[in-house]
Amino acid sequence: MKPSKHKAVLNDTICAISTPFGNGAIAIIRLSGPETFAICNTIFVQNKETIDFNNTLSHTLHYGKLFMEDQVLLDEVVIGIFRNPHSYTGEDIAEISCHGSIYIQEQLMQLLIRKGARAAKPGEFTLRAFLNGKMDLAQAEAVADLIASESSSAHKLAISQVKGGFSKDIRQLRTELLEFSSLLELELDFSEEEVEFANREKLTALLTRIRIKIDYLLASYSFGNVLKRGIPVTIIGKPNVGKSTLLNILLNEDKAIVSEIPGTTRDTIEDKIIINGICFRFIDTAGLRETTDKIETMGVERTYEKINEASIILYMFDLTESNVNDIKNSLQEIKKLSGNEEVKIILIANKIDLLVETPKSFKELSNFDTVYISAKRKENIHLITEKLIKTVKETNMQFDGNIVTNARHYDVLTKSLQEIDETLNGMKQQQSNDLLAINIRSALHYLGEITGDITTEDILDQIFGKFCIGK
């Protein structure tokens, strides 16, 4: 079911600057739609002759001069031609590579608009690709993730979804369920005659299979999201043990710092660093510096939240001022506060520079993952990053199939699971066919929303509105 509003939109020709805003060596301006070649014909001259792009081969490049009205030369450009349906959008596309001056880009855009094109809205090229059946909705969403990916793990996830692995699974299950649904509906038509077209055992087996699949996908979400947004790491410990010093080394001295972004929760700041292609997100370090000044003050709600959010906790202590029992007690406390059985705690024993040798009692900590460092002298910092990587790789083993990273998918999968469960319960209780059919129809509806077999304008606007212009 494709919304009519969007279909009507396909009749016109859109244009956008597809490279990032600003001066660059080159910029690419993209046109898509039925008038693409006609517009290019009127502005482009190759070897002093006009050229008819309606008769050139697809996937060819053309070098020449680009003129505005009154024969004013704007630039020397290369135009790439992609003929429908063999293009990104499925329509006729021209990609004009011009020199990357902002002036040229703006003049060219204005020229194209005067010639009849319209400035594209965010994501409109990809929306057209979806409406023309070049990709399904989950794949289109993965394109946005691909553009946004900052680390190799996020990139790997997005690439696998662009290829469509995830939605293929969902569509397969949906098709099987659809068959049963029509058999059930058929039974409703013959309700007087007590016939059974939909074999109940097979239906239960299918519903159970779908349930397992959805359960797995839902479970993969927190892991997938962690990979996409960065693995949350929190450093905690008593005051003056060296937390800020370590954090500064990890964040500032690492050449791979990518950004300082406003956190997802209220007033927090998150810093991301990429180590070996994996993105780590150090959360609320500023807040924690105030609130964890004493381990006893961990009752502060925000600290709870941060400990809760962390996949990895770096618990830091000062070797010269700690005793093993205190550390063990603190660890127990943290585990309790964390509420996350899976949380990985790495002990960071700091200030080795102040000791000639590690006191014997610390051998008792050998059961824990412990790293001995000097933050001040930047000694053994690599051991921390190695431990971080190792921890992630160990967790990685759990999910080797498709992974859900998108909040919309998570939401819709949760709803379809509820419907599947209701159907299964209903069957156990010998519920009437019309009630079962209602639940199955809802489940089909939600599963269809993932792949885009069922869409509404709201869903499309929400998804494509988040894209950058030109994609």
**Distance in Å, CB of 372 to ligand GDP, minimum:** 10
Binds ligand GDP by CB under 6 A, chosen from 188, 261, 354, 435 = 354
Q: Which is nearer to ligand GDP, 174 or 238 (by Cβ)?
A: 238
**What does residue 398 show for φ and ψ, rounded to 5 degrees?**
-65, -30
79-110 burial code (b ≥16 CB/10 A, e <16): bbbbbbeebbbbbbbbbbbbbbeeebbebbbe
Q: Which is nearer to ligand GDP, 83 or 243 (by Cβ)?
A: 243
Q: Please, which of residues 29-88 interact with ligand GDP by CB under 6 A?
A: none
User: Residue 3's closest CA among 466, 462, 468, 469?
Assistant: 462
Q: Which is nearer to ligand GDP, 25 or 356 (by Cβ)?
A: 356
**Distance in Å, CB of 317 to ligand GDP, minimum:** 10
Rg (CA), the chain: 29
Binds ligand GDP by CB under 6 A, chosen from 18, 245, 431, 442 = 245
Q: Pattern 135-174, binding to ligand GDP, x per CB under 6 A?
A: ----------------------------------------
Q: Which is nearer to ligand GDP, 82 or 372 (by Cβ)?
A: 372
Q: Which helix (H) or strand (E) holds 57?
A: none
How far is Cα 121 from Cα 471, in angstroms, rounded to an integer?
9
Q: Pattern 360-379, binding to ligand GDP, x per CB under 6 A?
A: --------------xxx---
Indicate the SS3 state at residue 63: strand
Range list of H helices, 124-164: 124-131, 137-148, 152-162
Q: Please, which of residues 333-352 interact with ligand GDP by CB under 6 A?
A: 350-351
Q: Pattern 252-291, binding to ligand GDP, x per CB under 6 A?
A: -------------------------------------x--
User: Residue 435's closest CA among 416, 452, 422, 448?
Assistant: 422
By CB under 6 A, residue 236 contacts ligand GDP: no
Alpha-carbon separation of residue 408 from 161, 204, 263, 269 (angstroms):
14, 27, 20, 25
CA atoms within 13 A on the CB side of 318: 12
Q: Which helix (H) or strand (E) holds 16?
A: strand 14-17
**Distance in Å, CB of 288 to ligand GDP, minimum:** 9
Q: Which is nearer to ligand GDP, 78 or 286 (by Cβ)?
A: 286
Q: Please, which of residues 181-220 interact with ligand GDP by CB under 6 A?
A: none
| Bridge partner list, 313 | 234, 345
How far is Cα 422 from Cα 435, in angstroms, rounded to an integer?
10
Segment interacting with ligand GDP (CB under 6 A) among 172-180, 198-206, 239-247, 321-329: 239-247
Cis peptide before 85 (omega within 30 of 0): yes
**Distance in Å, CB of 296 to ligand GDP, minimum:** 15
Q: Which is nearer to ligand GDP, 48 or 294 (by Cβ)?
A: 294
Q: Which is nearer to ligand GDP, 138 or 313 (by Cβ)?
A: 313
User: Residue 83's closest CA among 64, 60, 99, 66?
Assistant: 60
By CB under 6 A, residue 298 contacts ligand GDP: no
**CA torsion angle for 139, 141, 147, 153 (degrees, to 10)?**
-70
Give just the sign of the alpha carbon dihedral 460, 461, 467, 468.
positive
Segment interacting with ligand GDP (CB under 6 A) among 235-243, 339-347, 419-427, 458-466: 235-243
Segment interacting with ligand GDP (CB under 6 A) among 13-21, 241-249, 384-392, 447-455: 241-249
By CB under 6 A, residue 222 contacts ligand GDP: no
CB 406 within 8 A of CB 414: no
Binds ligand GDP by CB under 6 A, chosen from 241, 307, 371, 392 = 241
Segment interacting with ligand GDP (CB under 6 A) among 224-232, 243-251, 253-261, 262-270: 243-251
CB 261 within 8 A of CB 281: no
Indicate the SS3 state at residue 436: helix
DSSP label at 198?
A: S
DSSP label at 468?
A: P
Size of the site for ligand GDP (CB under 6 A): 16
By CB under 6 A, residue 242 contacts ligand GDP: yes
**Distance in Å, CB of 293 to ligand GDP, minimum:** 7
Q: Which is nearer to ligand GDP, 13 or 330 (by Cβ)?
A: 330
Q: Which helix (H) or strand (E) holds 283?
A: strand 278-283
CB 383 within 8 A of CB 373: yes
Binds ligand GDP by CB under 6 A, chosen from 12, 253, 353, 434 = 353
Two tokens at 376?
A: 């001040």
Q: Which is nearer to ligand GDP, 64 or 237 (by Cβ)?
A: 237
Binding residues (CB under 6 A) for ligand GDP: these are: 237, 239-245, 289, 350-351, 353-354, 374-376
